[in-house]
Amino acid sequence: MYQIDLSSGKPIYSQIIEQTESFILSGVLNKGEKLCSVRSLSISISVNPNTVARAYNELCLKGIIVSMAGKGFFVSENAKEIIMKNSYELFDSLRQTVKKMKKTGIKKEEILKEVEKIYLRGEEND
């Protein structure tokens, strides 16, 4: 399920967070579903348990998963909505960046060309 790319330069805990969010959005993980324990996930992907714990902690802080003492971690009831809201916030950030670029005289074609390059490079690294 999880695939860690040690050569990506992206922190492992970030990869776990991103993949968990992707699993939730795609329906691989559903609301109320139990996640692997920190220990079992760390063994299956060959990483330090502290790394998995950090990822789970950040997902808990975002409200995407919840911890139930003695029972484990579960996908929260509104996980998809939280992830989607965060995605919309990224668009706000992109809008502000494009406005600044336009003000500095960067042409639309240049912006689109760069976005296309970044997008294609990103897919190769996923």
Q: Which long-range contacts (CB under 8 A, 24 or more apart) does 81-85 make?
A: 83/21, 83/24, 83/25, 84/25
Tokens matching residue 115: 């976005």
Indicate the pTM of the whole model: 0.75
Output the CATH code of domain 12-78.
1.10.10.10
pLDDT tens string for the chain (126 positions)?
899 999 989 999 999 999 999 999 999 999 999 999 999 999 999 999 999 999 999 999 999 999 999 999 999 999 999 999 987 888 888 999 999 999 999 999 999 999 999 888 865 544
Triad 20, 25, 86: Cα angle to 5°: 85
Look at residues 25, 24, 6, 28 and name the one whose alpha carbon lies nearest to residue 15.
6
CA distance linking residue 69 with residue 87, whole number of Å: 30
Domain range annotation of the chain: 12-78, 81-125
